[in-house]
Amino acid sequence: MRWRRYLMAVGLTVTLVLPGAAMAMSVVFLNPGKPDEVYWLTSSNSMAAAAKDLNVRLEVLYANRNHLNTLTQAKQLAARAPKDRPDYVILSNDHAVGFEVIRILDAANIKTFLAFSGLREQSERLLATEPRQHFKGWLGSLEPRAEDAGYLTAQALIQHGLQHHMKAADGRLHMLAIAGDRSTPASLKRNEGMRRAVAEAKDVVIDQEVYAEWSRAKAQEQSEWLFKRHPQARLIWAGNDLMAFGAMDSWKKQGGEPGKDACFSGVNTSSEALAALESGSLTALAGGHFIAGAFGLVMLYDYHHGKDFKEEGLELDRSMFILFSKEDARRFQRHFGQLNFDQVDFRKFSKVLNPKLRKYEFNFRQILTQVEKRR
């Protein structure tokens, strides 16, 4: 396995070849993250489990958080001999690369599907119109409802702040927001959900919002001066778990105690985040959306075998996030702590394999429920 770890580390091809998959449908996942980044590794592992269940040949290419690598990988796929090209490519529109990747692959007659983050509704939408129109091979998209993550975590933060009397002298709760990036649609929608929760609360003010590019180190650096500039802030909302930990590191550095004299929220299901939720140092955690790639694979499997998902819509925006309780965190660790999803039966979500299934259900809680019923 040493060669496999090396290839993953440098962002080259990692291929899962399954028994009997020689003539099976083939899919490449252009993973925008790093192979040692828990969220994106979890996404790849859940897709690998789905591929195994569905007899799909899955190949994963990591961009290592460099969107230019994604464009290079798309060009390399298009340059392959026709017999070596995948049937489908799943990609995420991180840093708004989706339109260009679709354009490159469509010219090579490679079908594409967006998961995790779809096209933005501005210039890209005007150019790309709708799936299966200008680009015939762009089949559709499946996005976790990213606004839910921002809303659920911010709402939980606010409730905690009210219950623990964290209002400042002006009678309001003060929040700092540490967002992901300025161009990924999922990042922007999480921010929108957070702002909606704040607007509904009415007695909460966002003192400042910054972008930490999903980085723990950058969030720590930014939060050091944020805490000095806004000493009244006691709610710290973050767009992912790494940025939440960066802010928590900074708070502890200045003598604070996360979960007691300030509360923090995050998104994702890393072991560290789940443990922090159980200990109380992290107040709110949303996650489960990593499953979007695996469910996208199920949809492509059905399409490939004659059951087109267009009857439900070509661009699906579905609820996948759950707000984790401490018990949910323990259940997740118990079943998926090693990031192995082989115990999930992804065949159960296919309409081809379950003709009575009328609608795709994508919420992550059903995954937890299914696994516990099988034990």
The mean pLDDT of 68-91, rounded to a whole number, is 97
**99 plus 45 within the same structural domain:** yes
Instruction: Supply the pLDDT for residue 213.
Output: 94
**47 plus 133 within the same structural domain:** yes
**184 plus 79 within the same structural domain:** no
The mean pLDDT of 296-319, rounded to a whole number, is 96
Instruction: Supply the pLDDT for residue 122.
Output: 52
Sign of CA dihedral 330, 334, 340, 342: negative
Question: Residue 203 sits in a domain of what CATH number?
Answer: 3.40.50.2300
**Given pLDDT bands bounded at 50, 70 and 90, which one contains residue 11?**
very low
- Higher per-residue pLDDT: 130 or 21: 130
The mean pLDDT of 344-352, rounded to a whole number, is 96
Instruction: Supply the pLDDT for residue 375.
Output: 62
Tell me: pLDDT of 23 over 80.
no
Residue whose tokens read 């925008």: 32
Domain extent, residue 19, equals 2-144+289-325+340-374
Tell me: pLDDT of 19 over 60.
no
38-75, pLDDT tens digit by residue? Answer: 999 999 999 999 999 999 999 999 999 999 999 999 99
Is 136 contained in some domain? yes
The mean pLDDT of 124-132, rounded to a whole number, is 72
**76 plus 127 within the same structural domain:** yes
**10 plus 95 within the same structural domain:** yes
CA distance 112 to 137: 6
The mean pLDDT of 338-357, rounded to a whole number, is 95
**266 plus 350 within the same structural domain:** no
CA distance 324 to 150: 13
Sign of CA dihedral 332, 333, 339, 342: negative
Query: Ramachandran region of residue 129, left (φ > 0), alpha (ψ -120 to 50) or beta?
Result: left
Is 7 contained in some domain? yes
**154 plus 134 within the same structural domain:** no
**214 plus 298 within the same structural domain:** no
The mean pLDDT of 120-132, rounded to a whole number, is 67
Is 333 contained in some domain? no
Is 94 contained in some domain? yes
**Given pLDDT bands bounded at 50, 70 and 90, which one contains residue 180?**
very high
Instruction: Supply the pLDDT for residue 131.
Output: 92
Task: Please tell me the total count of domains within the chain.
Answer: 2
Is 157 contained in some domain? yes
Is 20 contained in some domain? yes
The mean pLDDT of 276-286, rounded to a whole number, is 97
**65 plus 51 within the same structural domain:** yes
**26 plus 64 within the same structural domain:** yes
The mean pLDDT of 78-98, rounded to a whole number, is 95
Is 332 contained in some domain? no
Is 335 contained in some domain? no
Beta-strand relationship, 263-267 and 88-91: unpaired
Instruction: Supply the pLDDT for residue 368.
Output: 87
Tell me: pLDDT of 127 over 70.
no
Instruction: Supply the pLDDT for residue 7.
Output: 40
150-163, pLDDT tens digit by residue? Answer: 999 999 999 999 99
CA distance 50 to 317: 20
State the pTM of this model.
0.87
Look up residue 21 and give its two tokens.
């998959």
**127 plus 161 within the same structural domain:** no
**116 plus 218 within the same structural domain:** no
Instruction: Supply the pLDDT for residue 184.
Output: 85
Task: Compute the mean pLDDT over every residue in the chain, rounded to the nearest whole number.
Answer: 91
Look up residue 119 and give its two tokens.
């096209």
